[in-house]
Structure 1
Amino acid sequence: MKVDTEMERLLDEIPMLHHGDLLGRRDAAGDDGGGGGGFDVSCLIRELAEMGVVEGDDDDGMLSSPPGFFGGGGGGGLSPTSSLCFVGQDGGDQHGCRFLQQRLDDGKREVDFIFAGVARHAVELMVNPFGNYLMQKLLAVCDDEQRMAIVLTLTKDPFVLVRISLNVHGTRAVQKLIESLRTREEIQLVVEALRPGFLELIKDPNGNHVVQRCLQSFDANDNKPIFEAAAVHCLDIGMQCHGCCVLQRCIARSGGEQREKLVAAIASNGFELAQDAYGNYVVQYVIDLKVPTANASLTKQFQGRYIHLSMQKFSSNVVEKCLKVFKEADKATIILELLAVPHFEQLLQHPFANYVIYSAIQNSKGSLHSALTNAIRPHVELLRTSPYCKRIYSRALLKK
């Protein structure tokens, strides 16, 4: 009884992380506040070893279980508190977490004991380089009640789940959490906990995977807060490397009114997005949807600016897409604008605009096509020598 009382006292002395310490600041023991520096129970493990509750291996720092620890001998199985002893720092973390993961395969009794020992430390473990794997395995085998307890632990304080999702280790554990959710209540708790950080998550190299996992795992109704945030911040999100991918995924996973609002918001910012290294992909994605109102909005913004867009690296791709997808009347507007430029040969020699001219030849017909080829023929000698004109000259029609 004395040993059990002393062990409980030591366990209660393990520092609980609060929001100010959790993941949010660097310390001497961890490089990012979440890489294992905030959860050190190595001293506890040593004391427990001295008390005979666990055995320490002097050779490699790995912990071994005493007789009866998992149901053998006369010890009565793994206790709820002693399971925590295997989640220490450095080598103890690695071997201990692996040991506990293996024991999770031994049946519900072991799952219950391990859950009781580590569940209240879910936040710390999820951002631990080794503990996150233990949490992922636990989420895969725990029952509905246990999963809800973990969800409540992770969502009771604002921004905690967001900070975990931004962590390089935590993002994996949160994605596993999202995959494991079964009830509408669990999903709503998680989505609401992530809501304050949607913009930061979408643009983050770790956090964007959490948002994409929500889009993949939940239905359109549950993802409504994500769609709303994406529509409001579409310009900011679309002009960022991770954000442009999430934005396209949002369009693909949404439907009905939510999709209409999102596409309309992107189209209304089409001119700015088209000129961006990442935003141009979002605009091309919207053009390919062939939504009449969206393409009409883009046409209105682009009209009178096609020369400007054609002579830029990223927006020239958008003009090419317009020539492939837009209706014939809108294609004619683009081509007539190209033909009206005072020095047409400058477009032929331009490193980006020459691709637009090539697409115009491919996607025009009738009198408009003839007008285009007639404007090109006087510069045939230039086409032969300029490095940017060879593709245009290679067209069989222009060789005749």
Structure 2
Amino acid sequence: MEDTSASAGDFKGKVLSEAMNQDGCEFLEQKLLGMKPEDIQMIYSEVKSHVSLLMMDGFGSNVIQMLFAVCDDEQMEDMVFSLTVDAGLLLAICLDSQGSQSMLKLIHCLTTWHLVLCLVVPLKEITLQLATHPIGSNVIRGCFLAFKAYSEPILVKIAENFLPIALNETGSALLQDIVKKDITVRAQNRLVASILGNIKYLSKDQFGSLLVKHFLGLELEYLPVYLIENLNEQFVCMVMDEYACNVVKKLLVVAEETQRLEIINSIINDPYLPHVLQNPYGYSFLQFAKECSMGSVRQTLNHLLQRPDHLHGQCPENK
């Protein structure tokens, strides 16, 4: 805007329309940080009933994000309430590209636990929709990054809807990302418990298996122990599955030597070993296991892999 001498008062009565055009947006962005409280109040009073509209507008989103940064707690509480009173509206904002960016700014501008909970509690009711959406999932990420311990209500909802989230491409990536954040031990344990409770379903799914492998990479000592104890009789079937095979491979990598031998022995001593040798994923697993082994076990695997009587690359009918 060329008229740099303009003041906030010049926009009285037309803040909303000016915020949604390029010139007015640029002026308000430049002036908001240095405005007096009474000028901020004037702007706030004119847009407070249109916060959701501005958050999803190409120009208005810039203005409302700047307003979030300068409003006081009372003003912020009023805006949070206006956004969360309708779950459908809140969802629409979070799934919108501009709206989600505005929501992330709002999240980082909440300065008290009361304001945080005013937003987090309503967000938990739409956690499933957000967690499985490419744009909406960023809002969940933002909550865990900014709030940590206060994200517990959202984590509870994730646990309640764990499989639909974990078996979804976006949801699996979100869960992997969440555990990379500086989350509480309690939060990490809740996620691990959800994985262990659904391990058989997750391991045989494209995206679920990626999640299991990611958690195995965290090097939590109890994970390999639990998996070996609970999946010992399932390993022979798992290594013949496209995705579960990679989970068992990852388990070999992170397991201790005695645990690794237990896994391999459970497979090569199983009556269904011939099926493993005939299965492309099973055969690939045995090759991988050989590289992870030493001594007599390695020799046994080498002998099995060189046997001329198995049919490479053919899957058993009851795979």
Matched, 1:309 2:238: yes
- Distance in 2 (CA, whole Å) between partners of 1:141 and 1:257 is 34
Alpha-carbon spacing, 1:291–1:105, altered in 2? closer, same or farther (3 Å): closer
| Equivalent residue, structure 2, for 1:326 | 255
| Partner-residue secondary structure (3-state), 1:107 | coil
1:28-39 matches, cutoff 5 A: none
- Distance in 2 (CA, whole Å) between partners of 1:250 and 1:177 is 19
Higher RCO structure (Cα 8 Å, ≥6 apart):
2
| Equivalent residue, structure 1, for 2:292 | 363
Alpha-carbon spacing, 1:349–1:191, altered in 2? closer, same or farther (3 Å): same
1:371-386 matches, cutoff 5 A: 371-379=300-308
| Equivalent residue, structure 1, for 2:176 | 248
Q: Is the 8 A contact 2:33 2:66 kept in 1?
A: no
Counterpart among 176, 184, 189 of residue 260 in structure 1: 189
1:273-288 matches, cutoff 5 A: 273-288=202-217
| Equivalent residue, structure 2, for 1:182 | 111
- Distance in 1 (CA, whole Å) between partners of 2:17 and 2:136 is 30
1:81-230 matches, cutoff 5 A: 81-87=13-19, 93-108=21-36, 110-220=39-149, 222-230=150-158
Task: Provide Cα deviations, 1:96-128, integer angstroms capped at 9, x if missing partner.
Answer: 333432332553365443323222210111122
Cα displacement (A) at 1:157 = 3.8
Aligned letter for 1:244?
A: S
Please, which moves more after superposition, 207-216 or 364-373? 364-373
CA RMSD of aligned residues (A): 3.2
| Equivalent residue, structure 2, for 1:394 | none
| Partner-residue secondary structure (3-state), 2:134 | coil
Alpha-carbon spacing, 1:160–1:243, altered in 2? closer, same or farther (3 Å): same
Please, which moves more after superposition, 285-294 or 313-322? 285-294
- Distance in 1 (CA, whole Å) between partners of 2:85 and 2:179 is 31
Percentage identity across paired residues of the two chains: 28
Cα displacement (A) at 1:333 = 3.2
| Partner-residue secondary structure (3-state), 1:129 | coil
Matched, 1:232 2:160: yes
- Distance in 2 (CA, whole Å) between partners of 1:262 and 1:376 is 38
Task: Provide Cα deviations, 1:165-189, integer angstroms capped at 9, x if missing partner.
Answer: 1222211100110011111111010
- Distance in 1 (CA, whole Å) between partners of 2:132 and 2:226 is 26
Q: Is the 8 A contact 2:236 2:273 kept in 1?
A: no
| Partner-residue secondary structure (3-state), 2:75 | helix
| Partner-residue secondary structure (3-state), 1:364 | coil
Q: Is the 8 A contact 1:195 1:225 kept in 2?
A: yes
Task: Provide Cα deviations, 1:168-213, integer angstroms capped at 9, x if missing partner.
Answer: 2211100110011111111010101211101111111111000000
- Distance in 1 (CA, whole Å) between partners of 2:272 and 2:154 is 48
Aligned letter for 1:276?
A: D
Q: Is the 8 A contact 2:148 2:184 kept in 1?
A: no
Relative to its length, the structure with more helix (as a share) is: 2
Alpha-carbon spacing, 1:143–1:257, altered in 2? closer, same or farther (3 Å): closer
Which is greater in Rg?
A: 1
Q: Is the 8 A contact 1:311 1:352 kept in 2?
A: yes
Q: Is the 8 A contact 2:216 2:254 kept in 1?
A: yes
Q: Is the 8 A contact 1:78 1:110 kept in 2?
A: no
Aligned letter for 2:18?
A: F
Aligned letter for 1:139?
A: F
* Structure 1, unpaired ranges of 5+: 1-62, 72-76, 388-400
- Distance in 1 (CA, whole Å) between partners of 2:283 and 2:59 is 54
Please, which moves more after superposition, 206-215 or 303-312? 303-312
Aligned letter for 1:183?
A: T
Cα displacement (A) at 1:266 = 0.9
Task: Provide Cα deviations, 1:106-152, integer angstroms capped at 9, x if missing partner.
Answer: 53365443323222210111122332222112223334443333223
Task: Provide Cα deviations, 1:358-398, integer angstroms capped at 9, x if missing partner.
Answer: 3212222232222222323445x999xx89xxxxxxxxxxx
TM-score by length of 1: 0.68
